[in-house]
Structure 1
């Protein structure tokens, strides 16, 4: 049996799904689109044979939250396709559970009326009854069921109440006969939709379902019209314009006629089934909102909360990330002690273990971010945050929901991109994804610290309270966010044209988060990152290792490593001999990476990077840092014969960079060169993890490739201008 869950946002639909299916859920994307698909398994009571061949088990599809089945976005179109049985790889449901908010029944019945028109067995889950009672609303579920003609089951998903009754109703509905479609639209609209069938058949589009024909008539510029516009041999928009003109002459103006008809039907259904006190007292949510949505106090509270969240991502994740790094080092040491030096050991340590570590090291930040998001969503605050930030974000053509993903990208773009799932509008979501990597993540910080400490003078201002080094660090950290403003504006004016959608969001009542629901969301997101993006990040790390290892004869290097790892040899060796051997190992490593495919590529691209003030060694560092930006430091340490275990505070690396010279004796590194490198890393897409997550989130290679190309081009031009202008000023 297949059961679909459908409902407005903030009705507790996802909480009900988690209560029914728990950890027995899997996520993915609907085939061919970027819309997330969440499917769970549910054990049902067996009341007798069902239309699908027997009870006992069901596959539950949690459809995207939507206010209507008037598809104007990919999410809404997917919901319609699933309910009509037109979604590839997804069978038509045997039953539909409409989750409604008991405290907002009049508005929620708009969606219910559309679902009832599809003729599917329907069960209404009357959720959040406790909120309705607190607002002075009393609902007679029996009378409501009689008026709707379908079972109405009171539930409180966060308390796991009413679940068994809901399961029984699902089995009974799926086992019974299909419902006759309910009609809440004027006869003139239905007649025009029926007449449209003949026109579509004549112009190459036969067998269009009746519901989709109604959507064509009622939805100006909707997804259904866009889908069939290119399939028809005739001018579908022009014909629909004539249809709407006839309806207007008959007193049925589109689209207002639909809202009037459905809400009139909802009022008739609720008459006698719902009683509400005339003047409900102000709720606790109302009192909180006077502060938390205030134009001044609300923004201050929001800023404090966001600071706490991102401080947690940046600081609290640190010990866990360090522990993962230590575990990675311990495992590498274990392999090193168990295997002789060679290509296979290098693959295991520098490719496999480093690749897996490159995946898991992001996990603490992702878990903390989604823990915060899950708590804020479940308690009802996230809607307030989006409301507060909408005015600022709308100037970029985005909505308030884009703010949290962009802010979280300052810690790491990987969880930031994943956080865009809270944005329903596809245009806003795509633009947010494409500009999120411009935010200056923590991985860029080691590059800034190395170059600022080595080449930016420690000049002090205002009695030492302000330093030039601090100002440069602030400028580099802010550069990506500043550049993101025109980039987002340009994307909205080109590839993602269209009016900024009106910001309509229900402010749900505040409530205590469900620990079970929060834990399931965090587990689901963490698992999705490791299993989806992790495999791609690992593959990219191994490829970069191979490019830095082959070709090259590593025989002498392996012999030196074997000698240094032999305890007896090390014990008998003098300090001078040990230092000489270590120097030889570093020199061999530097020569091999220079002769590798990566090094040869660096020499090949040197003419392209020389206008930036770079030599081939900096070019190799930039190439090697593709899996992660901070890898440039270890790469430069290897190239300058210092080893790959140096960090941004290593004085030896800074001295080696200061001594680096061009063939004519001029220093490679100057202040303009250092600024050029920092500007490049501030704007470039040097993070395989982010690109792989963009691929998973957009379900296409097109967008990570586009992100890499536009960001790399932008970084190159900005670095070129920085060096060329800076070299003339300094």
Structure 2
């Protein structure tokens, strides 16, 4: 048994087999996410209770096709299964999760798992889809031929995990034993034999091979059309960015009013002036100016997770293959780049699915140009302050259109950089053709969707309470000390360290229209992009008092020109302002060189874009 009192069950399966949905159905909210020691591969563990009342720990391992492991995340799965990883997740029982409508690859994996020497249970997931397609599986024959128990599961249906839980109860009640395994990677002959055995099992167990889902076929005739499909994809993205503004505003107002009330309460408290300023101007004004954008980030993740659960993401990758190929990107780069809209870090890690090293490196270099959720607070603050909230064309919000344009600019920039990299720095012949399995469309599970959104909201709030809070404290210290000398006629902040730093940088940023306050905000923004919003909130609240803290957008509109605001938006499209992303690039490429290349090429692009936008805007009278 494992080192802990509760037995450990590991979920192992091919990508897109519904394993994570099953994990969510089994554990619900009783789960936590961390990283495995020494690597940035996500570790998801949870708790479940069997029908007999037995407590069980469940580990959701990264998807894999084999224990031979060709990527870091597959290596984690192999090492956990074999008991080689120095952690507390050594499994007592392995549940191999298989897509019941596509068993061939799963059977090969089951045969490998049997050689490990641990108890194995095969769970045929998504049985509802298999039955809908007319696929009939003889469970008894398959279990007898494999020599392992076989059960069905439907992660998205009430009661769909009952058979699995009952079998877990039975197997764990018999007692299981963990420990390290002496498994060895199979040679070429063994792999051929395993494939032949999987084919034999498939013919033995499948009574009816079924048919293509007619609904999926009809939908794909429209959604994968070379013209209509692209139009629909752009329409979906357009609606998503409109919703980021329209749907989020009431909740944003509620959060903003809450922080305003809290700041006023602290401001009137009988505390020493320095402590009152620290709490009100540093902590509340700084962190509150970032947390207020949580509704927008939740809406963005809602759309991304919804499209993933529907099965549309693979179609979007298929549609974009030709466009991306013209820019020198492999079709498999679409999913990593799309993931980067949420955060570049998982997007960069997702490039492991790209086999060719140069294609993978190109994707890593351009992934940070995708507009991640950390840019949303900056974009929203500036757009709300300088772009009128009115409709154009009778149905579209102007602010949402500007946001859409910023996202589009990041995409165009990424394609342009990829085009130059592939044709100037490393010319190569066309790579392997883009092969992609398109899953059936599925109705998203509300529970699984809610868990995914909740986890990402908590991650954002954790970031606000750690990285952003620490940066806000630093900004407050820099903006508050040293105090103004007696008899000073200028605002106190003009004598601070922050003002000194901002003015020192001004000769470099003056051609961009940036003032010293912007300069100060850009520096801690290197830790996390959204820190810049909190930094501006802290600086202007100290400079202008409580009114500035409450209405930071109005303060910016009164002190910045439109040209400056547009230049800052252009800067943020390209600027490399995320230390965590740069660190992941260093780890994934194994080289400081590519981290430095990414930083300096993005910095050069940001400066050039901001300079061009500011000078053109001034020439057009927006200065």
Using structure 1 for the length normalisation, give the TM-score. Answer: 0.68
Matched-pair contact (CA < 8 Å) for 2:10–2:58: yes
From 83, 86, 108, the counterpart of 1:85: 83
Question: 1:485 and 2:415 equivalent?
Answer: yes
Matched-pair contact (CA < 8 Å) for 2:141–2:205: yes
SS of the equivalent of 1:133 reads helix
Distance 2:402 2:138 in 1: 66
Closer, same or farther in 2 for the Cα pair 1:320/1:555, shift >3 Å? farther
Unaligned runs of 5+ in 1: 47-54, 180-206, 219-251, 454-470, 557-586, 659-668
Q: How does 1:306-345 map to 2 (within 5 A)?
A: 306-339=237-270, 342-345=273-276
Matched-pair contact (CA < 8 Å) for 1:634–1:644: no
Question: 1:425 and 2:353 equivalent?
Answer: yes
Q: By how many angstroms is 1:148 displaced?
A: 0.2
From 529, 533, 548, the counterpart of 2:479: 548
Question: 1:32 and 2:5 equivalent?
Answer: no
Q: Which residue of 2 aligns with 1:715?
A: 606
Distance 1:70 1:417 in 2: 25
Matched-pair contact (CA < 8 Å) for 2:244–2:296: yes
Q: Which has the larger radius of gyration?
A: 1
Matched-pair contact (CA < 8 Å) for 2:501–2:520: yes
Q: Which residue of 1 aligns with 2:129?
A: 131
SS of the equivalent of 2:548 reads coil
Closer, same or farther in 2 for the Cα pair 1:404/1:65, shift >3 Å? closer
Matched-pair contact (CA < 8 Å) for 1:3–1:97: yes
Distance 1:381 1:541 in 2: 40
Matched-pair contact (CA < 8 Å) for 2:306–2:449: yes
Q: Which residue of 2 aligns with 1:97?
A: 95
Closer, same or farther in 2 for the Cα pair 1:613/1:606, shift >3 Å? same
SS of the equivalent of 1:644 reads helix
Unaligned runs of 5+ in 2: 1-6, 355-359, 389-400
Question: 1:42 and 2:15 equivalent?
Answer: no
Closer, same or farther in 2 for the Cα pair 1:432/1:37, shift >3 Å? farther
Q: Which residue of 1 aligns with 2:396?
A: none
Distance 1:64 1:408 in 2: 16
SS of the equivalent of 1:211 reads coil
Q: By how many angstroms is 1:404 displaced?
A: 7.2
Worse overlay, 611-620 or 524-533: 611-620
SS of the equivalent of 2:443 reads coil
Q: How does 1:282-431 map to 2 (within 5 A)?
A: 283-339=214-270, 342-396=273-327, 398=329, 403=334, 425=353, 427=360, 430-431=364-365
Matched-pair contact (CA < 8 Å) for 2:479–2:539: no
From 234, 254, 269, the counterpart of 2:201: 269
From 485, 489, 500, the counterpart of 1:600: 500
Distance 1:501 1:324 in 2: 50
Distance 2:402 2:33 in 1: 43
Matched-pair contact (CA < 8 Å) for 2:479–2:493: yes
Distance 2:127 2:387 in 1: 59
Distance 2:570 2:276 in 1: 36
Q: By how many angstroms is 1:696 displaced?
A: 9.2
Distance 2:534 2:51 in 1: 55
Distance 1:101 1:374 in 2: 20
Distance 2:512 2:518 in 1: 10
Distance 1:362 1:644 in 2: 18
SS of the equivalent of 1:338 reads coil
The number of residues matched between the two structures is 585
Distance 1:446 1:550 in 2: 27
Question: 1:684 and 2:619 equivalent?
Answer: no
Q: Which residue of 1 aligns with 2:394?
A: none
From 186, 191, 211, the counterpart of 2:184: 211
SS of the equivalent of 1:81 reads helix
Closer, same or farther in 2 for the Cα pair 1:161/1:704, shift >3 Å? farther
Distance 1:438 1:21 in 2: 29
Deviations 1:436-491 (A, max 9, x none): 258975624665798999xxxxxxxxxxxxxxxxx999998765444333445678
Q: Which residue of 1 aligns with 2:558?
A: 653
Q: By how many angstroms is 1:108 displaced?
A: 2.2
Distance 1:16 1:475 in 2: 38
Closer, same or farther in 2 for the Cα pair 1:59/1:489, shift >3 Å? farther
Q: Supply the RMSD in Å over aligned alpha carbons.
A: 4.6
Q: How does 1:138-287 map to 2 (within 5 A)?
A: 138-161=136-159, 163-174=161-172, 209-212=182-185, 214=186, 258=191, 260-276=192-208, 280=211, 283-287=214-218
Distance 2:13 2:285 in 1: 44
Distance 1:473 1:531 in 2: 26
Q: By how many angstroms is 1:59 displaced?
A: 1.4
